[in-house]
Structure 1
Amino acid sequence: MARTGEIDGVRIFDTTLRDGEQSPRTSFSYDEKRDIAAVLDEMGTHVIEAGFPVNSDAEFEAVRDISNATNTTVCGLARVVDKDVEAALDSGVELVHVFVSTSDVQLQDSMHASREEAVNRAVQAVERVKEAGVECMFSPMDATRTDDDFLVEVVEAVSEVGADWINIPDTCGVATPTRFMDLVQMVRENTDARVDVHAHDDFGLATANAIAGFEAGAAQAQVSVNGIGERAGNAAFEEVVMASEALYDVDTGIDTTRITELSRMVEDYSDIPNPPNKPVVGRNAFSHESGIHAAGVIENSSTFEPGVMTPEMVGATREFVLGKHTGTHSVRKRLEEIGYEPTDSEVRAVTRLVKDYGADKQRVTMADLRRFAREENVTREEEVRA
């Protein structure tokens, strides 16, 4: 397959338990956080951002216990405030992620600080983490709306005191892939730290921007399962992983066969249902109703599916849905699955019933199919053998 760019490697930083939990009306219990972290760890996720330790005693406990229980790198978030940094260090995480606003609008109307104050606080926070012997990531919050010269200034300042990672957050989801690539390249030219990206989905570009970040040389992307997170959410774990694996032929090290299992767990715990047409994990992602499509897929799944990504790769199953657009191939296949050996005329008769029922916006279930088969006296498999 022709590619528009190349990716050297992909690291996955999952923030489901931090930014994902910041979804409006979403809260994970202690046990739910542990469950999600355990699956992420078992799947081979490179970094798990377990939470914001200073937020509460319960949050601190969850971050601490996840850090102790997992084999992967666990990260804790901290503002450039002493109590935040100390809480993150006390939680025992291997990576402390510190952040400060850098766009003028956030400095003036949220943080109420000058550019100089922001740089000084950022430097002090990174210095404290490094003094403790812990890996440090720095985020210039709202980087995509930050003046380029000032962004370079703050990146250079924290790099000089030992920041291991520079994260480039598209905090308000306003970057385009081209702009994001330019920004990643600019930051890389002004730091020896590794570069990480964090994209939001306000315009539906989060996954595209994460991939653009990789193409521009970022080593890691921050993602959340099902794309949950602030406002319209984040780049989706499942989309970034599968795009990297299937479209760029990159071995992420993630066990992709558990993606659907993980997605359903987060869907249940977050109480945020996936749209049926959600890429990779939606219930329609590998489902077919149209007669032309279903007939092609029955013969060769690559005819009307990506080919480079199969349901088996993500732990899902393919489904042939019965309804208004169903063709004879799907009806025959479903009848055979439930023990019938229909003739061509019987298949055509049942297909007409399925189409008519579906045209009235009725959902055609397997019970309906059995009823239609009985009405048309469809031949059963044992009758053929007899």
Structure 2
Amino acid sequence: MTPNEKLKIARQLAKLGVDIIEAGFPATSVSEVEAVKLIAQEVGNATVDEDINGHVPIICCLSRCRKEDIDKAWEAMKYAKFPRILFFIATRFNDIEFGLEDATRSEREFLYEILGEIIKAGATTIGIGDTVGYCLPREFGQLVADIKANTPGIENVIVAIHCHNDLGLAVANTLEGISSGATEVDVTINGIGERAGNASLEEVVMTIKYKEMLLGGLYTGINTRHIVMTSKMVEEYTQMQVQPHKPIVGDNAFSHESGIHHDGMLKNKTTYEIMSPEDLHLENLVIFEYILLCSGRQTLKAKLIELGHNIDGKELNDLFWRFKSVAETKKVITDDDVLALVSN
């Protein structure tokens, strides 16, 4: 993304209510330095939405453990009210390889030792990375629990987790990690990220929202009504299309094809929806998309009433079969198509 696109998304993330915006990696290019500096100056010093009561997010950037990287990072970050630099290094201990990256495949005792030394050196947050998306949820949860139980000084720092999606388990691992005591999670909009991506913000946030009681009362400060807009901005600027069946923000997430499902929705929305569209600012979402031959008479009748035509009996039956005939030749039938059928 260009620095200006990154700035726009950072503003939207602040409006969304995220606590920390990881703005970039200044050592990689002049463009990254410019982007991080812009975000630090403009988003890192001001409230962007009256609804979030003066919330100014921490602006964070990446840095390798090299002096030149650190200098570049600080030069870009120093303008923020709450600046943070995230140092990363691998911890998989095999021959001479060393660091906190790839923690899920690292030797446990070595992890406890190195994390203890990092905490003694002044770290306030320690990160546990499933960098290659290797873990099952129970394995990742156990890793977090073991680190919390065996690392000297761990009670004085924030435990953060960073999960990748190579096996499609990033969200499940993230939820298991917070159930085991982590209090900060790395997530991305639409689940974008290296290879198969990272844990998806929208999926993690909405799961916590609707499973709060089962997760021990956990909650986030995210304003869920801004999720869809943020998703669409990221999709546009990155040109990474969201799959239609993507949970929460995919085009099909709240659409219903089956006639049986439509009938159930008309009687009680909770029959086939576990989330309220209103929570995502989708009050005006049209759930009645007529796809192929899946819709029933009651769905068609409800759509006709919505369009101002109360049709019943034989007239409705005749219209329904004409509607089915058209549906055989068109993938999606619009409101205009329905009105045309009525006028005929």
Structure 2 unaligned regions, length at least 5: 44-55
Contact 1:335/1:342 (CA < 8 Å) preserved in 2?
yes
Name 2:87's counterpart in structure 1: 98
Q: Does the residue aligned with 1:64 lie in a helix, a strand or coil?
A: helix
The one-letter code sitting in structure 2 at the alignment partner of 1:157 is E
The Cα of 1:370 is off from its aligned counterpart by: 2.0
In 2, distance between residues paired with 1:149 and 1:163?
19
Identity, in percent, stands at: 36
Name the Cα RMSD after superposition: 1.7
In 1, distance between residues paired with 2:115 and 2:271?
48
Name 1:10's counterpart in structure 2: none
Change (3 A) 1:173 1:322: same
The Cα of 1:283 is off from its aligned counterpart by: 0.8
Question: What does 1:140-179 align with in structure 2 at a 5 Å threshold?
Answer: 140-179=100-139
Name 1:132's counterpart in structure 2: none
In 2, distance between residues paired with 1:366 and 1:150?
63
CA deviations 1:222-262 (Å, max 9, x no partner) are 00000001111011111111111111154311110111111
Contact 2:2/2:31 (CA < 8 Å) preserved in 1?
no
In 1, distance between residues paired with 2:319 and 2:251?
25
Name 1:9's counterpart in structure 2: none
The one-letter code sitting in structure 2 at the alignment partner of 1:29 is T
Name 2:177's counterpart in structure 1: 213
Contact 2:289/2:332 (CA < 8 Å) preserved in 1?
no
CA deviations 1:100-121 (Å, max 9, x no partner) are 112246xx7xxxxx25xx46xx
Residue 370 of structure 1 pairs with residue 339 of structure 2: yes
Q: Which has the higher contact order (CA 8 A, sep 6+)?
A: 1
In 2, distance between residues paired with 1:253 and 1:233?
23
Residue 67 of structure 1 pairs with residue 40 of structure 2: yes
The one-letter code sitting in structure 2 at the alignment partner of 1:234 is N
Contact 2:22/2:62 (CA < 8 Å) preserved in 1?
yes
For normalisation by structure 1, the TM-score amounts to: 0.78
Name 1:321's counterpart in structure 2: 289
The Cα of 1:321 is off from its aligned counterpart by: 1.2
In 2, distance between residues paired with 1:196 and 1:293?
40
In 2, distance between residues paired with 1:186 and 1:286?
39
Residue 330 of structure 1 pairs with residue 299 of structure 2: yes
Name 1:269's counterpart in structure 2: 237
Residue 234 of structure 1 pairs with residue 202 of structure 2: no
The Cα of 1:365 is off from its aligned counterpart by: 2.1
In 1, distance between residues paired with 2:262 and 2:294?
10
Structure 1 unaligned regions, length at least 5: 1-27, 109-113, 120-139, 376-386
Aligned match of 1:43 in 2, 16, 19? 16
The Cα of 1:305 is off from its aligned counterpart by: 0.7
Residue 58 of structure 1 pairs with residue 43 of structure 2: no
Contact 1:322/1:354 (CA < 8 Å) preserved in 2?
no
Name 2:324's counterpart in structure 1: 355
The one-letter code sitting in structure 1 at the alignment partner of 2:90 is S
User: How many correspondences in the alignment?
Assistant: 317
Change (3 A) 1:262 1:351: same
Q: Does the residue aligned with 1:49 lie in a helix, a strand or coil?
A: strand
In 2, distance between residues paired with 1:346 and 1:288?
25
In 2, distance between residues paired with 1:206 and 1:240?
10
Contact 1:170/1:199 (CA < 8 Å) preserved in 2?
yes
